[in-house]
Amino acid sequence: MKLRNNNNNNDNMTSTSKSKSTSKLLSATCPPSNGRRFAYAIAILTSLAHSNQYTSHAFTFSPLSSNTLSSCRNCNIINNNHYQINSLVTASSSNHNNSNNNNSSKSQQSMIATPFKSSPVVVSEEAEALSHSSTTLKLIPSYELFQILSQEEGGIIPKTQPGNSQRDAHTLKTHQGNVEEDTLANIQLTDFVGCGGNVKIETLPDPFKMVEKELKPFADSISELVSSDQPILSMAAKHFFEKRHGKRFRPTIVQLVAKAAAAAQPEHTSESRNSDINGSLDHSDSSTTNGTSMTEKVGGVSGWEWSGASDVEVEGGVVTPSNHQGSEVWRKQAQLGQIVEMIHVASLIHDDVLDEADTRRGGEAVHKLYSNKVAVLAGDYLLARASVLLARLENTAVVQIMATALESLVSGEVMQLKSPPESLLQMESYLKKSYYKTASLICYACRSTALLGGHSYSSTVATAMEEFGFHLGLAFQIQDDILDFTAAENVLGKPALADMDLGLSTAPILYAAQEYKELRPLVMRRFKKDGDKQTALEYLYKSKTAMNKAKALALFHAEKAISAILRLPQSEARDALIRLTHTCITRKK
């Protein structure tokens, strides 16, 4: 089943009016001294508006209280950890004033004890209706689908809902005649050397060598895709792809996920699912539990949940390991890997301008080589090219998912810039910001790769892929934040302690703040006073638990990623993803 496009005249707001409203919002919320930095944020948002990608999240709505209903009968509350737009202006001024005053110890302790919940975004029903139909995806943030914190730290397992209804399914290895035993069925990262065990990780396939030949022409092909008639713009856009290749981490993930998905037969097409719902298929098959389909368990079936799969044109009609390599499906999945890298690089270029960073990937940042204006335009151009190539994948569901990933990147940047002081102490807030800025692009790319391979949105494969990407992305970011304190600048390829220089508190500092209450006001004022950073470092290195807790948090998410990917049939690609996850949390740079 193909998703149809829904064009509505009311959606055709001019990009000019969008950019003007965005400009007014940001200019109203930032102090004058930061005006130049927010100008670049405006450029990022404007570029998305021009490409019609900056649209509202298709989140599922939370129920409203009676008090809320009486005051806002025509609104739905979207609980996505953003702050309320209408309160931005007052929050900005009050936060600025609060940062200059130390709160009492009593109030600080209260902030730690009581989880902070920032104001939700309010979206009218009319606005939501304009962007949705019965076939559009109702996307929910991954942190509301999968566990973000361990239960020991107060985390909960999210309820079953659209997007994770197959989260606990174990059907893939039993209904395909797959008789080979999974040799890694019960494996955990703690079984491997480097994570506390004695099994050598080298026994698993090397993820980078497995896709090395496929990624070898990556720099050349992606450079051609971003070529421009404007020499300076072209050189700036190609900078990372030609000069410093980086880890190619995201394209490697996409390639391996594509191969792993090819080893799993699609469970259902939308048509067969609808037949199943109407009772024409036997409910005793492996996709049901006690005669009830997984989607029926979550309060009824939505057609869009079992849509989104690309029409696969390969021999036999189903992608398999034998017909995957070199197929049109394989080509589109490889192109998605390039798109993801283009989006990622664009975000790096823009971030470096916002953060006034001097280096990136061991070399000068783009805005240092050229200018801020050229850097912003180069990032915008990469996003525009990525949007064009994304549309050429000819899968509307994938376009919706990856457009949401674009929106998430901007949301993460705004969240980082304007989070209220109280939220800066909250581990959950830190993880949600990490999701928006890092994990969202990875997990949405993983799910999109499964859809391009012929798997529907709510299939076990697509769900496992997003869950894997979600946890892998968070583990990767947490390890990055640990290395910010433990690795030298020449190893990282970027300045050490960069987060603290930006006033950001990451997992190690937050755990230290749980142990030392004296550190909390420093975190809340973003280390603005002289000596704050040095004092914070002293508390961190004095702590006997902070760094270990941060490492345990990275391991928690890495183990969750492994648990998700193990739901797929065993293949070299799947096992290589396990090794890649191990690499993420044991790397030194």
Q: Position of tokens 């496929």?
A: 214
The amino acid that residue 129 corresponds to is: A
How would you write 483-519 as a 3-class SS string? HHHHCCHHHHCCCCCHHHHCCCCCHHHHHHHHHCHHH
Q: What is the sign of the dihedral through the CA atoms of 448, 450, 456 and 459?
A: negative
Predicted confidence at residue 358, as pLDDT, reads: 64
* Residues forming beta bridges with residue 364, ordered by sequence position: 359
Tokens found for residue 118: 């920032």
Distance between CA atoms of residues 380 and 343, nearest Å: 10
3-state secondary structure of 151: helix
Residue 134 three-state SS? coil
The pLDDT of residue 303 is: 63
Residue 123 phi, psi (nearest 5): -125, 130
pLDDT given at position 419? 87
Question: Rg of the chain's alpha carbons, rounded to an integer?
Answer: 24
In Å, how far are 132, 219, 362, 388 from 245, measured between CA atoms?
A: 39, 7, 11, 23
Q: Which residue has tokens 């990407």?
A: 469
Domain ranges for the chain: 146-268+302-586
* Contact between residue 165 and residue 305 where contact means Cβ atoms under 8 Å apart: yes
User: Helix, strand or coil for residue 360?
Assistant: strand
Determine the topology of domain 146-268+302-586 in CATH: Farnesyl Diphosphate Synthase (1.10.600)
In whole angstroms, give the CA distance from residue 509 to residue 365.
Answer: 27
Phi, psi for 225 (deg, rounded to 5): -65, -25
Q: How many helices (H) and strands (E) does the chain have?
A: 28, 6
Q: Phi/psi zone of residue 282: left (φ > 0), alpha (ψ -120 to 50 degrees), beta?
A: beta
CB burial of 29-42 (b: ≥16 within 10 Å; e: otherwise) equals bbeeeeeeebbbbb
- The phi, psi pair for 515, rounded to 5°, reads -90, -35
Nearest-angstrom CA–CA distance, 308 and 448? 9
Question: Who contacts 255 (Cβ-Cβ below 8 Å, separation ≥6)?
Answer: 211, 214, 215, 333, 334, 337
User: Residue 207: enclosing H or E segment and its boundaries?
Assistant: helix 207-210
Asked if 454 contacts 329 with a C-beta cutoff of 8 angstroms, the reply is yes
3-state secondary structure 66-123: HHHHHHCCCEEEECCCCCCHHHHHHHHHHHHHHCCCCCCHHHHHHHHHCCCCCCCEEE
Cα distances (Å, whole numbers) of residue 32 to 25, 27, 42, 90, 372:
13, 8, 15, 15, 19
Running DSSP on this structure, what letter comes out for residue 170? Answer: -
Maximum distance among all Cα pairs of the chain, rounded to whole angstroms: 72
Q: What is the pLDDT of residue 504?
A: 92
**Angle of CA points 490, 245, 237, to nearest 5°:** 110
Q: Tens place of pLDDT for every residue, the chain, 589 residues?
A: 434 344 444 444 444 444 444 444 444 444 444 444 444 544 544 444 444 433 333 333 333 343 433 333 333 333 333 333 333 333 333 344 444 444 434 333 333 333 333 333 334 556 656 777 777 777 889 999 999 999 999 999 999 998 998 887 765 654 444 446 899 999 999 999 999 999 999 999 999 999 988 887 766 676 666 666 677 766 766 666 665 555 689 999 999 999 999 999 887 543 443 333 333 333 333 344 333 344 333 333 356 677 888 888 888 888 999 999 999 999 999 999 999 998 988 888 887 777 666 666 556 777 766 677 878 888 888 899 899 999 999 999 999 999 999 989 988 888 888 889 999 999 999 999 999 999 999 999 999 999 999 999 999 999 999 999 999 999 999 999 999 998 765 555 556 678 888 899 999 999 999 999 999 999 999 999 999 999 999 999 999 999 999 999 999 999 999 999 999 999 999 999 999 999 999 998 8
How far is residue 114's CA from residue 222's CA, in Å, rounded to a whole number?
48
Q: What's 8's DSSP letter?
A: -
Rounded Cα distance between 282 and 468, Å, is 31
CA–CA–CA angle 168, 173, 174 (5° rounding): 100
Determine contact, residues 463/425, Cβ cutoff 8 Å: no
Q: What angle do CA 383, 384, 390 make, to 5 degrees?
A: 85
